[in-house]
Structure formats: structure tokens, C-alpha cells
Amino acid sequence: SNLQRHKTLHDNSKWFECKFCLKKYPRKDMMKDHTMAHIRQQIHFECPVLSCNFECLLYSSLANHLNSDHNCCEKRTHATETKDQ
């Protein structure tokens, strides 16, 4: 029913995560709509380190790259100079 579906918005027991940006949604259909926006726009993530040209589609891949190649943490606290600076 519509009421049961609406209740899932307020139930924090299970969240569905976007595989591109890790944003979470209370319902699977909401997450799928969001994920399709990434696919339509071909959103990608770029490494913020100046000397690096790494690009990927998944945020988790960027986080792994930063940790393994630049010895940086996921929260973008970099020991090296970044493109934004």
C-alpha cells in the first residue's frame, strides 16, 4: 500500500547506497532514480592531486586510489598539493 511505502521513508532500518557517490536513500526506487542521473550525465570523479590525471566513475575507486597511490585518507585531507588550492 502507499502508506507502507511512505513509512519506509521514516524507517532507518535499511538504506540503499548509490554505487557512484555513496549517497544513501531509504527506498530502492529512489536510489535507482538517483543512480540513473549519474549514468545519464556520465558523472565521474577526478583525483584532486595536481600531478595526477586519474579519473573514475565510482567514489569508492577514487578513495582507494587516494589511499594506495597518494597515501591520503578518504576525507580528502591530502599531504600533497591539490588542484583546488
pLDDT digits (tens, 9 = 90+) for 30-76: 888 888 777 677 668 888 888 899 998 887 888 889 889 988 754 43
Handedness of CA 59, 63, 69, 72 (dihedral sign): positive
More confident residue, 11 or 33: 33
Mean pLDDT computed over 3-15: 73
**Domain assignment present for 70:** no
Please report the pLDDT score of residue 2 as a whole number: 78
DSSP class of residue 35? H
Amino acid at the residue 48? P
**Domain assignment present for 12:** yes
Domain that residue 20 falls in: 3-62
Q: What's the domain count of the chain?
A: 1
Please report the pLDDT score of residue 8 as a whole number: 66
At residue 33's C-alpha, the angle toward residues 28 and 37, to 5°, is 140
Q: Is the pTM of this model over 0.95?
A: no
Please report the pLDDT score of residue 54 as a whole number: 93
**Domain assignment present for 73:** no
**Domain assignment present for 84:** no
